[in-house]
Amino acid sequence: MSNEFEQPEGEEQSSPSAAEQSPSDPLDAELADLVDATGPISKEAELLADLQRLQAEFVNYKARVERDRDVSRNAAIAEVIRAFLPAFDDLALAEAHGDLAGSPFEAVLNKLRAGGEKFGLFAFGAKGEKFDPELHNGLAQIATPGATESTIAEVISQGFRLGDRVIRPAMVAVAIPQE
């Protein structure tokens, strides 16, 4: 039984010529010359290179995990604070009307503010501020004589930032220049 990969009779196997054995790319030729000149890399050098690579990968992994942990922590804090904002709004509204003075709810509001500041929560959006569509949600426009730029005419509900991140824009009425 004949193997289909066998060479037909009468043909000699030819060995690759010198041109086929040497690298055709000049860069490969230079690399081969360099390896011949320096000798093979020692096992210790290979192991050291592997160890250095693994150490660099570990440092990168550790930094990535720490960064992801901070992002997850800040997102969780933002969600918890966002859930309490309606109650915070009600207490702030009652305070603005003078209903909290001397009541236990005044102490609750102060504690909520202090707790929020501890985590970097800050309210923004005050009457007279320049209107910024990145921070404020304009619900109404009021044409105002003498106005030169869009400003906040009335704050319907304050906006909140957690650090640099806006967790709720301020709901405002905007005073615009009269045409």
Q: Is 108 within a domain?
A: yes
Boundary residue ending a domain (90, 119, 148): 119
Q: Is 114 within a domain?
A: yes
Confidence at residue 29, expressed as pLDDT on a 0 to 100 scale: 77
| Number of domains within the chain | 2
Are 173 and 138 spatial neighbours (Cβ–Cβ below 8 Å)? yes
Query: How far is Cα 111 from Cα 105, in angstroms, rounded to an integer?
Result: 10
Q: Is 99 within a domain?
A: yes
pLDDT per residue, tens digit, the chain (179 aa), is: 444 455 445 444 444 444 444 546 787 777 677 666 665 567 888 888 899 999 999 999 999 999 999 999 989 999 999 999 999 899 988 988 888 888 898 999 999 999 999 989 999 989 989 999 999 999 999 888 888 899 999 999 999 999 889 999 999 999 998 87
- Residue 22: DSSP 8-state: S
Query: How far is Cα 175 from Cα 131, in angstroms, rounded to an integer?
Result: 9
Tell me the pTM: 0.62
Amino acid at residue number 4: E
Find the CATH number of the domain harbouring 136: 2.30.22.10
Confidence at residue 164, expressed as pLDDT on a 0 to 100 scale: 87
Range of the domain at 58: 22-119
Boundary residue ending a domain (119, 146, 161): 119
Query: How far is Cα 171 from Cα 125, in angstroms, rounded to an integer?
Result: 8
In sequence order, which residues have a C-beta less than 8 Å from that of residue 18 and are 6 or more positions away? none
